[in-house]
Structure 1
Amino acid sequence: MDKAKLQSFCLTFPGTTHDYQVDWQADRYHVGGKMFAMMGGDAERKPIITLKCDPAHAEELRETYQGIVPGYYMNKTHWNSIFFDSDLSNDLIENLILHSYQLVFEKLTKKVQNQINPK
């Protein structure tokens, strides 16, 4: 998994903003002011991307893939962390990023959604 490609992919979604959280040494990606992805490291500074996920799907992913664990430093029910050195396909990771973005976008008010994605 290439960090630069993931960063570029995250920025392709409408309304996405990026910031860097110095205290966490993490790149964060938001839509409507709400975070949907964070790239940083775990306690051993092992590179990870943390994504929001439907709770039932999150558990299924953790049971299926070794490289997916409960969200590091996040709510373990709603967030997963994926290790950069895992053998997951780029397609799977991109689909999980899209899923995270959609979950966050859907929780925004209709007004904010329409400002981001006018009809």
Structure 2
Amino acid sequence: MNKYPAIHKAALQLKGTKHDYKAEWAADRYFVGKKMFAILGTNKEGRNILTVKVEPSQGEILRIENPAIIPGYHMNKSHWVSVLLDEEQNEEFLAKLLAHSYEQVLQKLPKYRREEIGDM
């Protein structure tokens, strides 16, 4: 189990979420409809990060308002942000980011995938 059980639990509570562990990345990955919406791992400095998908305008605002939020590590910088978990530990805020990321991915899934998940 990872070092952030509250984040893990919050992600798995989102309907249809699947989880795996990618050993090469040393990261927990969370998917909905076979599309990734969150990664819990470390960056090249070894800092613990949570990387989530956001609306591009929302990501810019988040980075301005919160110094713990940086452009998405190894991801598209306009669509993903990473949260430095040693600086941001508000579990409620992190759960909201996860839910937002989940919704971003869920909305883009084909109708049949959303029906499989029970979103329709």
Name the residue aligned to 2:51.
50
- Unaligned ranges ≥5, structure 1: none
Residues 91/75 of structure 1: CA separation in 2 closer, same or farther (3 Å cut): same
How many pairs does the alignment contain?
118
Give the SS at the match of 1:69: strand
Give the percent of matched residue pairs that are identical in Structure 1 and Structure 2: 39
Name the residue aligned to 1:80.
81
| TM-score, length basis structure 1 | 0.94
Runs of 4+ residues deviating >6 angstroms: none
Q: Distance in 1 between matches of 2:117 and 2:32?
A: 8
- Aligned-residue Cα RMSD (Å) equals 1.3
Name the residue aligned to 1:100.
101
Q: Distance in 2 between matches of 1:70 and 1:92?
A: 17
| TM-score, length basis structure 2 | 0.93
- Unaligned ranges ≥5, structure 2: none
Q: Distance in 2 between matches of 1:31 and 1:94?
A: 16
Name the residue aligned to 1:19.
20
